[in-house]
Amino acid sequence: MSFARLLLPLDFSDRSPEALRLAGILSERFGSEVIPLYVLSPLPAIDPVLSLPFELYGPTVAPPDEGRRREEALAYLRSYLEEHDRSAWAGGAQVREGSPAVEIVRAARELTCDLILLGTHGRSGLARWLLGSTTERVVRTSSVPVWVFRGDPERPIRHILLPTDFSELAAEAYPLAIAVARAFEATITLFYVAEYVPLSDNQLLERMRKEYQGRLERERMTRFTEEDRRFIADAYLQFNLGSSTAGIVDFAARKQIDLIIMSTHGYSGLKHILLGSTTEYVVRHAPCAVLTIRPKSMHLEEK
């Protein structure tokens, strides 16, 4: 798996300089071309001052010039890159207009990017449910991997957590984990969370532990080549009361994991509301960066 072209959406917020630094690190590690992107908000159909549709204006009042807006935005994006010592990326800079999540995913597809780099603002509760999060929408709908960063962008990637549920969908994240581990010379912990209720039968609990640990070992031996297995330092089983998603986040915090890599089901609409998403929960609550990949089978379902 290669990352020849990296899409870097910027919004000129306080996190944008961090995104630039991380993009530089990933570009060096993977040999990637970086394409900066800024998404303009759509022009309103109604003038916010006069409360009239632009097409009803008389000849003395002109609607905003969309072409000029884009030119000015592109000029500002290029100057911003130069200001942060990234002038080499200015030639490929892109400006689009519309919904940020939609345009980011469309740009990645049309520009044949291999990776999208995004930050997260951690919106939660009712505001997130009603408005959603650009990052979460991109994670859910992007056909290319999405690297969601938080914290220090220059934090070394030494320990990678690779959650699994032994499914084919989960396994699609394995080549991605190996590629990142190889680039950063990092180790991988293959991880499974078993949800359970308290049991008084210790023998039954021990049988469950052996069964799941055996499945983890078979996963390691059958899903990875001998060459790739050298990156897998551990295959770890954790029993968790309640949600397995909380178990992933808790383990990442306790073991000081630097990056979590996992696949996302990519459902949308009612199915997404009903089923939720383990990956989106992890993206929202993880103490470290999260790299997601949407299984190829989800792309086929959309065609």
Q: What is the pLDDT of residue 44?
A: 62
Q: Is 112 helix (H, G, I), strand (E, B) or coil?
A: coil
Most confident among 94-98, 237-241, 267-271, 296-300 (mean pLDDT): 94-98
| pTM of the model as a whole | 0.86
Mean pLDDT calculated for residue range 89-118: 95
**C-alpha span between 171 and 224 (Å, rounded):** 10
Number of C-beta neighbours around residue 14 at 10 A: 8
Task: Give the pLDDT band (50/70/90) at residue 130.
Answer: very low
Contact residues for 194 (Cβ-Cβ < 8 A; gap 6+): 208, 212, 237, 238, 239, 240, 244
Give residue 38's Cα distance to chain centre. Answer: 18
Q: Is a pLDDT exceeding 50 seen at residue 275?
A: no
Q: What is the pLDDT of residue 189?
A: 97
Q: What is the pLDDT of residue 266?
A: 53
Question: Hey, what's the torsion of the CAs at 97, 103, 109, 115, to 10 degrees?
Answer: 120
Mean pLDDT calculated for residue range 285-293: 94
Q: What is the pLDDT of residue 191?
A: 95
pLDDT tens string 170-220: 999 999 999 999 999 999 999 999 877 666 677 877 888 899 999 999 999
Query: What domains lie within the chain, and their CATH numbers?
Result: 1-154 (3.40.50.620), 155-303 (3.40.50.620)
pLDDT tens string 158-183: 999 999 999 998 999 999 999 999 99
Q: Is a pLDDT exceeding 60 seen at residue 268?
A: no
Q: Is a pLDDT exceeding 80 seen at residue 271?
A: no
pLDDT tens string 2-42: 899 999 999 998 889 999 999 999 999 999 999 999 999 87
Q: What is the pLDDT of residue 278?
A: 81
Number of C-beta neighbours around residue 208 at 10 A: 16
Q: Is a pLDDT exceeding 80 seen at residue 303?
A: no
Q: Is a pLDDT exceeding 70 seen at residue 54?
A: no
Q: Are 215 and 197 within 8 A, CB to CB?
A: no
Task: Give the pLDDT band (50/70/90) at residue 270.
Answer: very low
Tokens in use for 170?
A: 């989960």
Q: Is a pLDDT exceeding 50 seen at residue 248?
A: yes
**Residues belonging to the chain:** 303
Which residue would you say has higher pLDDT here, 90 or 66?
90
pLDDT tens string 29-38: 999 999 999 9
Mean pLDDT calculated for residue range 43-47: 60
